[in-house]
Structure 1
Amino acid sequence: MFKDFYIPSYEITPLTMAVIAKPQGNKDGASYVLEEELEYTIEASPSKVMNDACKYLGSSLKGRQDGTREICGITHKAPISIDPSSGMYFFPTTSPSNPKCSWIAHSHIDQVNKAPDNCTEILFHNGKRIVLKVSYGSMLNQVQRTAQFRYLLDHRIKYLQRHAADLVAEPQP
């Protein structure tokens, strides 16, 4: 399913469907990146990839997690929005400090199914599938929490857009 070619750096895009942990012994880890059309490996843990993506857009993984906590009270395995305007919402499969933590793009999920051995299969809109060693209940909970977070953040953004004329940071001449 995954090709073993490495790229030196990587940036999350709206085409990114998942960043999956690939433990590398004593190293910091590596990640399989699953996009709509491509699959490859990078030499960085999924949480580092997510942190770098957040930094690229002016925040950090911790900053995004803090924002999630402020918006909807989720404190553990918090979903994040890398960029709400592009629909880039991701959730972790375990604690982000766990080297086995993978990140899944909420908007690309079509179905979540039970799989043998307490695993979960994720079917993406484009027909690609992955099986992760995460319980079905935990995965459904993460999908639901991400949907709640998306709804609440989207509501705030729309409120600001409706009242943009009254809330301009710099007055127009």
Structure 2
Amino acid sequence: MKRQHFNINDDTMYMLSVENKGLTECRVGEVYGNGFHCLTSPNKILEKNCRQYSQSYPARKELTKKLTGLSAKLPVIIDLFGSIIFFCTHSDRVMENNWFNIKHIHSYRNYNGNTRVRFNNNEEIEVDISFTSFNNQYLNALKLHYKFNLEKEKFEYSEMAKYKNSAPSGNYMTDITSTNDKVSDVSYKAYLQYISGGKMNDLA
């Protein structure tokens, strides 16, 4: 039985476009199980999940542009904390576009002009894209992962420093424990505001 939609999760490895009677549907691969089919295209599934997890798909693309300087075939962060990053094989204007979760790719190689992808669970699939193009898209996703976490660490460090500098002094060990707990909470809340667009204009 085919699904109309599904929620992308940490175990989602890929979303491949499948043509069915002139319509573009999706084959989903997950770490466990045999995968399944959706009646919706990979692009539409990704767009809806961006809204469910955090922001709109255009906002996710804008974040990628600001962080990486890339302008086309943009990888995107699905969730708030950068743990789910997908990259595409074609332009998102193409319905036959495919999406891959970078964390589950073990290796890939040239295979008769296409690309043979092996995942961490040992599943292998052939993708209709050249090795060079697939490699570029994979490296772009790695760049997004690195830049996002670099900015995240810089922001959290800045928030921690501001809070610690303003924290009252008293019993040293008690202050350290109490301050660290409060810093984590403050950093978390500030980060949610930050990634939701509060400070995007400050990104280089």
User: Normalising by structure 1, what TM-score?
Assistant: 0.89
Gaps of 5+ in 2: 164-185, 191-204
Instruction: Please give the per-residue CA displacement for 1:110-141, whole angstroms capped at 9, x wherever unaligned.
Output: 0011111x210110011011111000000000
Higher strand share: 1
What is the aligned partner in structure 2 of residue 142 from structure 1?
137
1:86 is displaced (CA, Å) by 5.8
1:23/1:99 contact within 8 Å kept: no
Distance 2:83 2:98 in 1: 19
Which of the residues 98, 108, 115 maps onto 1:112?
Answer: 108
Q: Judging changes above 3 Å, is the alpha-carbon distance between structure 1 residues 43 and 26 closer, same or farther for their aligned structure 2 residues?
A: same
1:164 is displaced (CA, Å) by 2.2
Higher helix share: 2
* Structure 1 segments of 4+ aligned residues over 3 angstroms from their partners: 167-170
RMSD: 1.7
What is the aligned partner in structure 2 of residue 64 from structure 1?
60
Q: Judging changes above 3 Å, is the alpha-carbon distance between structure 1 residues 84 and 127 closer, same or farther for their aligned structure 2 residues?
A: farther
What is the aligned partner in structure 2 of residue 40 from structure 1?
36
Instruction: Please give the per-residue CA displacement for 1:128-155, whole angstroms capped at 9, x wherever unaligned.
Output: 1111100000000011111011100000
Tell me the amino acid that sits aligned with residue 31 of structure 1. C
Tell me the amino acid that sits aligned with residue 150 of structure 2. H
Matched residues, percent identical? 21
Is 1:52 aligned to 2:31, yes or no? no
Gaps of 5+ in 1: none
Tell me the amino acid that sits aligned with residue 123 of structure 2. K
What is the aligned partner in structure 2 of residue 123 from structure 1?
118
Rg (Cα) greater in structure: 2
User: Normalising by structure 2, what TM-score?
Assistant: 0.76
